[in-house]
Copies of this chain bind each other. A is one copy, B any other.
Amino acid sequence: MSQDQQAADWWATAVSRVEPNVIELRGHPVQNLIGSMGFAGVIWLMLRGEQPTPAEERLLEAALVSSVDHGPHAPSIAVARMAATCGIGLNNAVATGVNLLGDVHGGAGEQCMRLLDEVRDSDDPATVVTAWRARDRYLPGFGHRFHTRDPRRDPLLTAVERAVADGVVNGSHLRAARTVERLLHPVPINIDGCTAVVYAELGFPPPLARGLFVLSRSVGILAHAWEETGQGRRNKGPIPPTIQPTYTGP
């Protein structure tokens, strides 16, 4: 390699080719995608390099729709609303919310996909579950902190079942999830578990469960930040100024 090529190679990518008057996304001229592909389909294309079938795209879309918002109790939503009152851009407010979707807030789906992989590949699911519980009392994707019966569960699992029936996906992760649910009874699968089943069935690698959750939740973060900008507050704190935080120091 010529010395002179180093900076170009440092930024090598297979995601897109951008040259004067040329934009290709995963090998497709962008003008061929605009108007012909849906947004969820382009998300799939950009992350995986191939286009989904319509049935795959619909299933992805169901999962993306299910996670957009969980109200101001979710730290990601609340901080974006507070950010929107501090004199920074709407993009900065969204970034502030997305920054909080970490291992605890946005990572359960990723961890659940790893769990489901292990269960699926094991002859002894009970041992797998026991090993995971020994490491952490929270089994990712199972149990609830808020909903005893999450309203998103049935439509998502039903969509997966239909996709199995139609031969769109093979159902191995759905079966693994049901196995875990039986072992944990009466602890139910939760929303992170349901979306993990969808993403695993569709063949996404576990880290992209978090990535897809980020794209989904960004919608709710933006909607809340935008609503907040219409209310005229400045430097919104977490509780009204009339309530003093309890002081516990010396």
Contacts and interface: CB of A to CB of B under 8 A. Distances in A.
Given A82-B78, A222-B211, A234 B104 contact: yes
A173 interface: no
B94 A3 contact: no
Number of copies of chain A assembled together: 4
A8 B47 contact: no
Interface size class of A (residues with CB under 8 A): 35 or more
Interface string A67-92: 01111111110110111011111111
A13 B151 CA distance: 20
Contacts of A71: 13, 15-18, 23, 245
A62 B88 contact: no
Interface of A: 2-27, 29-31, 33-35, 37-40, 42-43, 46-47, 49, 58, 61-62, 64-66, 68-76, 78-79, 81-83, 85-92, 94-96, 98-107, 146-152, 154-156, 158-159, 207-208, 210-211, 214-216, 218-220, 222-227, 229, 234-250
21 contacts: A12-B248, A16-B70, A23-B147, A30-B152, A31-B152, A35-B62, A39-B39, A42-B65, A42-B68, A73-B237, A73-B245, A79-B82, A79-B83, A85-B104, A86-B100, A86-B102, A87-B103, A87-B105, A95-B98, A96-B96, A214-B222
